[in-house]
Chains A and B, each alone.
Chain A
Amino acid sequence: QKEVEQNSGPLSVPEGAIASLNCTYSDRGSQSFFWYRQYSGKSPELIMSIYSNGDKEDGRFTAQLNKASQYVSLLIRDSQPSDSATYLCAVNDSGGSNYKLTFGKGTLLTVNP
């Protein structure tokens, strides 16, 4: 059973701070990694993808990948109250077909004004 693990939180940060979200995965063959944001009662929204080791930056978001450690992280700089949501880590299943994703349970982030 391929697993994706995240701390469920809640993670609480003050407005303007850096929020750090972490994820580990069990499928050593996985090649594609994603962070989705999910507001309560809404669908997941893709915010970052990363495919190679290292950092990838997009605006206030930075994804970090370490395949040797099977570890993915998401940093949110200058956190805003609108960033308050559940952040889902998703990993492409290497043994499956057609880009099946396995999701973690998500980390609830609260940004306090």
Chain B
Amino acid sequence: EPEVTQTPSHQVTQMGQEVILRCVPISNHLYFYWYRQILGQKVEFLVSFYNNEISEKSEIFDDQFSVERPDGSNFTLKIRSTKLEDSAMYFCASSVAVGYTFGSGTRLTVV
């Protein structure tokens, strides 16, 4: 069964450093998303991406965040200057339409 692949599975970074989280969506999917889940809290929408541009972003997705689809397969989330409160699980997802498949996630720990 096709999968959404995320790397790395766990990243530890120092506060103020830049991180890039990587995702390979399912190949025939058109819509791509990033969500995050702080420990013990809800899964929260960050951004959706379609046709090579951001289609919607949440208030969490401020100027410190950016997304990119640098080639035909990868979809990345960059956090420019990490804060302690960015520590969370970050999930990539992709879909053809509504109801999507999540990747296994990247646990980001900011110290």
Contacts and interface: CB of A to CB of B under 8 A. Distances in A.
Nearest to A32: B98
Given A99-B48, A103-B44, A92 B98 contact: yes
B42 to A, nearest CB: 5
Contact of B101 (A42, A46, A90, A99): A46
Q: Looking at chain A, what size class is its interface with the partner chain? A: 20 to 34
B7 to A, nearest CB: 14
Q: By CB atoms of chain A within 10 A, which of B44, B50, B56 has the most?
A: B56
B25 interface: no
A101 B93 CA distance: 11
Interface in A88-113: 88, 90, 92, 96-106
B75 interface: no
B41 interface: yes
B43 A97 contact: no
Contact of B42 (A34, A42, A97, A105): A105
Interface SS majority for chain A = loop
A70 interface: no
Interface residues of B, number: 23
27 contacts: A32-B98, A32-B99, A34-B99, A43-B89, A43-B102, A43-B103, A44-B43, A44-B91, A44-B102, A46-B100, A49-B98, A88-B43, A92-B98, A96-B48, A97-B48, A97-B55, A98-B31, A98-B50, A99-B99, A99-B100, A100-B56, A101-B45, A102-B45, A103-B42, A103-B43, A103-B44, A104-B42
Interface in A63-105: 88, 90, 92, 96-105
Interface in A37-60: 42-46, 49
Nearest to A99: B98
A104 B43 CA distance: 8
B56 A49 contact: no
Contact of A100 (B45, B89, B91): B45
A103 B95 CA distance: 17
